Amino acid sequence: MLGGYKSVPYARRYENRKPVFEHREIAEATLGRKLKDGEIVHHINMDKTDNRRCNLLICTKNYHRLLHYRMQLYCATRIRAQQGV
Ligand SMILES: [Zn+2]
């Protein structure tokens, strides 16, 4: 998938039947506070299973959308360049 995550599920556990995502817990522990509404934890290398702190980026929803849009453009441009189109 262009610029998308691998199709594997996020690591999670359940608390009161609600999913608690490992990458969000790690981000919160690093920040020392709960994530705010609208804060997204992005996996820099696009590997959803890689929850090392150095691979996690906390950003707003808008910035996250822009980030994925730009990555898709970048990937599409590279593929076209490889194909000589
Ligand atoms: Zn992302």
What are the boundaries of each domain within the chain? 12-83
Distance 1 CA to ligand 1 centre (A): 13
Distance 75 CA to ligand 1 centre (A): 15
Distance 62 CA to ligand 1 centre (A): 11
Residue pLDDT, tens place only, 50-80: 999 999 999 999 999 999 999 999 999 999 9
Asked if 23 and 51 count as a contact pair (C-beta separation under 8 A), the reply is: yes
Element (H, E) at 21: strand 18-21
Distance 76 CA to ligand 1 centre (A): 17
User: What is d(CA 40, CA 11) in angstroms, rounded to the nearest whole number?
Assistant: 16
Residue pLDDT, tens place only, 7-18: 788 999 999 999
pLDDT of residue 8: 84
Q: What is the pTM of this model?
A: 0.80
Distance 44 CA to ligand 1 centre (A): 7
Q: What percent of the chain has pLDDT over 90?
A: 79
